[in-house]
Amino acid sequence: MRSNRIAVILTVLSYVLSIAAIFYLPDQVATHWNVEGEVDGYSSKWFGAFLSPVLITAVVILMNVMPKMDPKRKNYESFKGSYQVILVVLVLFFFALHVVTLAYNLGFPVDVNLFVPLGIGLLFIVLGNYMPKMKPNYFIGIRTPWTLANETVWNKTHRLGGKVFVLLGMILTMTVFIEGAWRFFTFIIAVMAGVLYLVIQSYLYFRKEQSGH
């Protein structure tokens, strides 16, 4: 499949970049930033250089294995195209994060603290556009007891979830204009509120279905 080819190419390229960069990276590289946007965690250059490629590899393997393990595996055929897009977008996000982190540790003038909210925001927007196409499964989507128990509830919740995720993505991208810890707190509050709203709404949809209204 074309999506797998793209994912594999990006995975291999992430290792190639790490191998090329390892000779120029300092012995200790930044791998974690606090809520103020300051570096507060360092690792060896080998760990820092290959953490993201290993993570990308894990994402590719998991996204290919999950449909085969899922008891609802037949449903994946109904949204195969969307699932493939989600795979590529996830890999692309982690690949871009890898490039930005390497560039920062190599001394290039990149702002990791701006990339993260912008990248996650765009990721949410893409996921929101494909969420309504997802069909019931146990691995991806809004999996509450009520969405998994009733396909109509699943469909309604994911149609709503698509809109919520797009809105969250727009909010997260706009946090690039917020300084310091407030950017992090706005991010967390927005995501928690959105997720809680969808969980509650899935229950309300279920009750409505059960009552027959």
Q: Is 18 exposed, middle or buried (0-12, 13-18, 19+ CB in 10 A)?
A: buried
33 contacts: CB under 8 Å, gap ≥ 6 = 39, 40, 41, 112, 113
Q: What distance in Å separates the CA atoms of residue 124 and residue 140, rounded to the nearest whole number?
A: 14
Query: How confident is the model at residue 47, as a pLDDT?
Result: 94
Would you state the structure tokens that stand for residue 100, as one six-digit string?
């930005």
For residue 42, report the phi and psi dihedrals to the nearest 5 degrees.
-125, 155
Is the pTM higher than 0.95? The answer reads: no
Task: Report residue 176's pLDDT band, with 50, 70 and 90 as the boundaries.
Answer: confident
Q: For 54-74, write each residue's pLDDT tens digit.
A: 999 999 999 999 999 999 999
3-class secondary structure for 78-128?
A: HHHHHHHHHHHHHHHHHHHHHHHHHHHHCCCCCCHHHHHHHHHHHHHHHHH
Q: Summarize pLDDT for 38-58 with one digit per residue, the tens.
A: 888 899 999 999 999 999 999
pLDDT, tens digit (0-9, with 9 covering 90-100), for 87-136 = 999 999 999 999 999 999 999 988 888 888 899 999 999 999 999 999 99
Per-residue confidence (pLDDT) for residue 213, from 0 to 100: 62
Report the candidate in 192, 191, 205 with the shortest Cα–Cα distance to residue 154.
Answer: 205
Q: How far, in Å, are 13, 188, 191 from residue 19 at the CA level?
A: 10, 35, 36
Tell me which H or E stretch contains 32: strand 28-33
